[in-house]
Amino acid sequence: MRGMMSAVSKLYGFGVRYRNRQYDRGSKPIEEVGVPVVSIGNITLGGTGKTPTAAWLARWFRRHDVRVTLISRGYGAERGELNDEARELDDLLPDVPHLQNPDRVAAAKVAVEELAAQVLLLDDAFQHRRIARSLDIVLLDATEPFGYGYLFPRGMLREPLEGLARADVLALTRADAVSAERRQEIRNQARQYNTSAIWLEMNHRPDHLRNADGESLPLEQLQGKRVAAFCGIGNPAGFRHTISSCGANLIELKPFPDHHIYNAKDIETLTQWVSQLRVDYLLCTHKDLVKVGVNQLGETPLAAIVIEADVTHGLPELEERLTKLIAEIPPDEY
């Protein structure tokens, strides 16, 4: 099986390298959209903390009175609907427009021409090279930064690690989940492919609990409590770490596939499951809560742990680059 997957990985890698060479040589056009563009992406499949990072950046620009719009492909969205990440970001950032379109160039033009956006944030766009960007931010999850060292499907890499050379910022997310020695090892390995990018380290800390009505609850309510949890995200291990950091006693975690859409049968199954565990709380991620949309399952209260990103290393360098982006906005627009 490993041999078969390795063969497919080689074919996949050939296709990725060929596509990147076309953009690098100009065979495929890269389009300017007239405003600064910040891309947030990763080099691996699965969750790396893009949503908290996008929220952090959007709030930074809003604090500086910049009109910012989020652009994403809308993976997993049903026709005419926002996907789970967009619904989560809409809940967190009600004053920031979010456009979803598989044709992200078209969405960018709408944002600039109709919404008068001054800065665009491209979500999950490191491999989307049609739009020229002013800043390419690549997130590396500290718990598994390099996709087990293999391209998909043998490993979790979306493209070869030499692709990191395109990054302007390398951000180690969930940095507090590993030791200082491990963080340095990851940095040294990343520097083999990119010596000039800004190096960030970020903690994705639990900030508060939130129910489906939008009510905020203190995390202290979880201290010493028996809890169960479920999630449909790319990195369930990261969510387990988050729950443990809140001081809760996690009895069981039920993972679902990434971007899972919860139907009536799922809700019934979860209700029966949690009732047998006799826990004080049922927890999920914010991305799951916006899809489930209820405050309890059976008699058990349901709440999401809302995650906020904190930059713990490299903040001055990042803010210097972001300030330079603002200076690129035409004077009559800023």
Confirm or deny that 50 is annotated as ligand binding.
Answer: yes
Q: Are residues 329 and 264 in the same domain?
A: no
pLDDT at 4: 81
Quick one: three-class SS letters along the chain? CHHHHHHHHHHHHHHHHHHHHHHHHCCCCCECCCCCEEEEEECECCCCCHHHHHHHHHHHHHHCCCCEEEEECCCCCCCCCCCHHHHHHHHHCCCCCEEECCCHHHHHHHHHHCCCCCEEEEECCCCCCCECCCEEEEEEECCCCCHHHCECCCCCECCCHHHHHHCCEEEEECHHHCCHHHHHHHHHHHHCCCCCCEEEEEEEEEEEEECCCCCEECHHHHCCCEEEEEECCCCHHHHHHHHHHCCCEEEEEEECCCCCCCCHHHHHHHHHHHHHHCCCEEEEEHHHHHHHCCCEECCEEEEEEEEEEEEEECHHHHHHHHHHHHHCCCHHHC
Q: Is 270 annotated as a binding residue?
A: no
Question: What gap in Å lies between CA 115 and CA 203, rounded to an integer?
Answer: 32
Assess whether 160 and 222 both reside in one domain.
no
The reply to whether 197 and 229 lie within a common domain is no
Token pair in block for residue 82: 């926002």
Neighbours of 334 (CB within 10 A): 14
Please state, as a whole number, how many other Cβ atoms lie within 10 Å of the Cβ of residue 22. 13
Distances (CA, A) of 298 to 178, 272, 292: 37, 8, 13
**Residue 174 Cα to chain centre, angstroms:** 12
Q: Is 44 annotated as a binding residue?
A: yes
46 is in an annotated binding site: yes
Of all residues in the chain, what percent carry a pLDDT higher than 90? 81
Provide the pLDDT for residue 77. Answer: 56
Residue 78 pLDDT exceeds 60: no
pLDDT at 255 over 60: yes
Answer yes or no: do 20 and 115 share one domain. yes
Total structural domains in the chain?
Answer: 2
pLDDT of res. 75: 66
28 known ligand binder? no
Domain span at residue 241? 206-307
Residue 48, marked binder: yes
On whether 26 is known to bind a ligand per the annotation, the reply is no
Same domain, 278 and 322: no
Average pLDDT, the chain: 93
User: Do 188 and 243 sit in the same domain of this protein?
Assistant: no
**In a shared domain, residues 69 and 106:** yes
d(CA 37, CA 89): 18
On whether 232 is known to bind a ligand per the annotation, the reply is no
- The answer to whether the predicted template modeling score (pTM) of the entire model surpasses 0.85 is yes
Can you tell me which residue has the tokens 């060929």?
Answer: 18
- Same domain, residue pair 177 and 295: no
Tokens representing 128 are 């989307």
pLDDT (average), residues 287-292? 94
Least confident of 79-88, 100-109, 222-231: 79-88
60 and 192 housed in the same domain = yes
Supply the CATH number for residue 43's domain. Answer: 3.40.50.300
Q: How far is CA 105 from the centre of its chain?
A: 20
Other Cβ atoms less than 10 A from the Cβ of 101: the count is: 15
Find tokens 């004080």 and name the residue. Answer: 280
- Which CATH number fits the domain that encloses residue 226? 3.40.50
| pLDDT of res. 76 | 57
Nearest to 154 by CA among 44, 65, 254: 44
Tens of pLDDT, residues 173-220: 999 989 999 999 999 999 999 999 999 999 989 999 999 998 999 999
Is 333's pLDDT higher than 60? no
* Together in a domain, 200 and 326: yes
- Would you say residue 102 has pLDDT above 60? yes
For residues 172 and 213, membership in a common domain is answered with no
101 and 238 fall within a common domain? no
